[in-house]
Amino acid sequence: MEILQAKDLKKIYGSGENAVHALDGVNFSVDKGEFVAVVGTSGSGKSTLLHMLGGLDRPTDGKVIVDGKDIFSLKDEALTIFRRRKIGFVFQAYNLVPVLNVHENIVLPVQLDGSEVEKSFMDQIVQTLGLDGRLDALPNQLSGGQQQRVAIARALIAAPAIILADEPTGNLDSKTSQDVLSLLKVTSRKFTQTIVMITHNEEIAQMADRIIRIEDGRIVSGHTPAGNSPA
């Protein structure tokens, strides 16, 4: 079942001879529970694509459909609410709130929505990500890898339709990067969580179910890494 679709997605900055086509007619879809890596060099359009998929910026033309909803048909306030409920984000810089402890950071999106956290689901996420015993710690008391685990837990807690991960291992050493990527893959399987990860790192991309390559704002290829067929 398709949970995410990009249809003829375009983003143009400037006009006339100075126009920059950051996205130039992007089309692809992602199935529920799939872990997809979007690979491209700096300036290829991959970060612009992530911002469009997450409703953080509006396209010049085209559609993004998340869980059956054309997100850009929504007005700004409705889009903010939809994004909070349906789209989880994991950023390179973690973006944890420094004055909140681990538990408070994880549950923040649910509380902002005025909802109650399901304790059994919270416990399952915490155990899966190895955060037991660290729930009272502040972000500055954690390693980079632990902070990114908290960010992943925060993205998971609302059980969103998709999680968008933007260079999630960019600030981590190679060993921690592998650990974090393994956890992303585990959570994708365990919680049937759809994940779209943006990366420039070819080795990291190999852990995904499918790799989509973007160049000059266009999708140029897509394939399944050897031995990584979706479950």
Residues of the chain with pLDDT > 70, as a percent, come to: 96
* Tokens matching residue 37: 């890596």
**Which pLDDT value is given to residue 226?**
60
pLDDT (tens digit per residue) in 97-138: 999 999 999 999 999 888 889 999 999 999 999 999 999 999
Q: 60: helix, coil or strand?
A: coil
* Tokens matching residue 117: 């956290």
| 147 burial via Cβ count (<10 Å: 0-12, 13-18, 19+) | buried
End-to-end C-alpha distance for the chain, whole angstroms: 14
pLDDT (tens digit per residue) in 170-207: 888 888 888 888 888 988 898 999 999 999 888 889 98
Q: How confident is the model at residue 231 (pLDDT cuts 50, 70, 90)?
A: very low
Q: Which residue has the higher pLDDT, 7 or 169?
A: 7
- The CA-atom distances, in angstroms, between 180 and each of 66, 127, 196, 201, 207 are 25, 14, 15, 14, 11
Dist CA 171 CA 156 (whole Å): 21
Name beta bridge partners: 5.
Answer: 29, 65
- 40 close to 214: Cβ distance less than 8 angstroms: yes
pLDDT (tens digit per residue) in 76-88: 999 999 999 999 9
